[in-house]
Chains A and B, each alone.
Chain A
Amino acid sequence: MFCVLVPQFALLTIPLLGKVMCNLQILIMGRRTKVPSVNAGSMADIAFLLLIFFLVTTTIETDAGLARMLPRKTNEPIQIDYQKKNILQVVLDKEGRLMVDEELINLKDLREKVSQFVDNGGAPSQEENYCAYCKGKADPTSSDNPKKAVIAVNTHRETSYGAYITVQNELVAAYNQLRDREAQIRYKTSYTAMEEAYQKPETSSKEKKALKQKIQHIRLLYPLNILEPQQL
């Protein structure tokens, strides 16, 4: 007991006494080789604290959306010499009302309308615009060919962004429907599945190459031609 209390320097200054004392100390230490364990009871609290910190300061990112390519900037307004029948006029006004080809329709019917218009294939079979893979009504007053079909989306400045996204979503959905069908016929798989596989990091570069070719082919058959003229 005494040895523990005497400071170290005291042992050094009195060698003899120190020797005796240290023997004593070793004796005592021998009984105490077991180091007392640190109480880990508060570990959980510390971990919780960290957890809550991370929960508060971080966000689960929303990293998905509708991808679009904007047209290049030109000085003159882009002139398009399209026949009127090849353009589908979609107007979304500030109250969220939707007009397609000067006809008031419900947003829920837009998808059907767009897919009918794009897939129409109105050109007669001897013309160069003839669409062999279209399954539409072949109405001569509607679009000639999916490659020719253009959808013009007009908005007002006060149109709400939510409504606009809904319209864009329906347009993409209509195109995806057609592309899926075409991919199903040609490659026995859906277009969206191919696109997903292409984006997966597990896909090997060889597969990717093959997929890219297929995707581009389908995209060529049903190109997404969306025109956004100057706002009203």
Chain B
Amino acid sequence: MSKFAKKKSGELPAVSTASLPDIVFMLLFFFMTVTVMKNSDVKVENTLPNASEIKKLEKKDRVITIYVGAPTREFQKVFGTESKIQLNDKFADAGEVGDYILMERAKKPQELQNVLTTSLKVDKNANMGLIADIKLELRKVNALKVNYTTYEGDAFNNLK
């Protein structure tokens, strides 16, 4: 009997953590591939509305983004609580949208300049007045393809 009992030392062997780095690296690579670097700080509240009948946006290099929403708390002292337009990194008036679109369009390669989409990332509490102004500006510079970017979900949640 003692032959079998001999090896038991009473302690459980520790779980090997040698593969832990591999697992973490796997996670790291996953996140590196599925996410996109933030290219600009969003300085406005940006809770997008929900919609169910959505279409996927085209490739990222064909999209110009305009953010609209109330300034976040740190900017409220300077810019107030009314909805504002954010172009690149600064707040702007509706009148500057046209120039911004033209500038961004000029930066894109020639073959993409005619297929650009303007993605409007608008906070759901923003007012339609500002959106109408933006749309008018977009029409002036012939940027007619618009995408109201939304989250996927039940559209009736927007009303709450």
B110 at interface, CB cutoff 8 A:
no
**Contact between chains at A169 and B128 (CB < 8 Å):** no
> Which residues of the other chain, B, contact A158 by a CB distance below 8 angstroms?
127-129
Task: Write out, one digit per residue, whether chain B residues 98-123 have a CB within 8 A of any chain A CB (1) or not (0).
Answer: 00000000000000000001011011
The chain B residue sitting closest to A69, CB to CB, is B144
**Contact between chains at B57 and A63 (CB < 8 Å):** yes
Q: Which of A51, A68, A156, A166 contacts B28 (CB 8 A)?
A: A51
Report the stretch among A18-26, A39-47, A203-211 that lies at the interface: A39-47
Chain A residues within 8 Å of chain B by Cβ, number: 53
> Which residues of the other chain, B, contact A50 by a CB distance below 8 angstroms?
28
B81 at interface, CB cutoff 8 A:
no
> Which residues of the other chain, B, contact A40 by a CB distance below 8 angstroms?
18, 21
* Docked pose: A106 CA to B122 CA in angstroms: 24
Assuming the contacts A63-B56, A166-B155, asked whether A161 and B123 have C-beta atoms less than 8 A apart, the reply is: yes
The chain B residue sitting closest to A74, CB to CB, is B139
* Docked pose: A153 CA to B98 CA in angstroms: 24
**Contact between chains at A62 and B155 (CB < 8 Å):** no
What's the least CB distance linking A99 to chain B, in Å?
A: 15
Q: Which of B38, B51, B123 contacts A66 (CB 8 A)?
A: B51
**Contact between chains at B17 and A165 (CB < 8 Å):** no
Q: How large is the interface on B (under 10, 10 to 19, 20 to 34, 35 or more residues)?
A: 35 or more
* Docked pose: A228 CA to B31 CA in angstroms: 41
> Which residues of the other chain, A, contact B148 by a CB distance below 8 angstroms?
65-66, 68, 165, 168
A48 at interface, CB cutoff 8 A:
yes
B36 at interface, CB cutoff 8 A:
yes
B60 at interface, CB cutoff 8 A:
yes
A218 at interface, CB cutoff 8 A:
no
Task: Write out, one digit per residue, whether chain A residues 22-56 have a CB within 8 A of any chain B CB (1) or not (0).
Answer: 00000000000000000011011011101100110
**Contact between chains at B140 and A65 (CB < 8 Å):** no
B27 at interface, CB cutoff 8 A:
yes
B85 at interface, CB cutoff 8 A:
no
Report the stretch among A2-10, A125-133, A138-146, A170-178 that lies at the interface: A170-178
Assuming the contacts A48-B24, A160-B126, A231-B132, asked whether A61 and B147 have C-beta atoms less than 8 A apart, the reply is: no
**Contact between chains at B53 and A173 (CB < 8 Å):** yes
What's the least CB distance linking A189 to chain B, in Å?
A: 17
A60 at interface, CB cutoff 8 A:
yes
* Docked pose: A158 CA to B35 CA in angstroms: 35
* Docked pose: A172 CA to B53 CA in angstroms: 7
Assuming the contacts A48-B24, A64-B57, A96-B159, asked whether A165 and B51 have C-beta atoms less than 8 A apart, the reply is: yes
Chain A positions within 8 Å of B, measured between CB atoms, are 40-41, 43-44, 46-48, 50-51, 54-55, 57-73, 96, 107-108, 155-166, 168-170, 172-173, 176, 195, 199, 228, 231
A-B contact pairs, 25 of them (CB 8 A): A44-B21, A44-B24, A46-B21, A55-B31, A58-B36, A59-B38, A62-B48, A63-B60, A64-B55, A64-B56, A64-B57, A65-B149, A66-B53, A67-B147, A70-B146, A73-B140, A73-B142, A156-B128, A158-B128, A158-B129, A160-B127, A169-B155, A173-B52, A199-B55, A231-B128
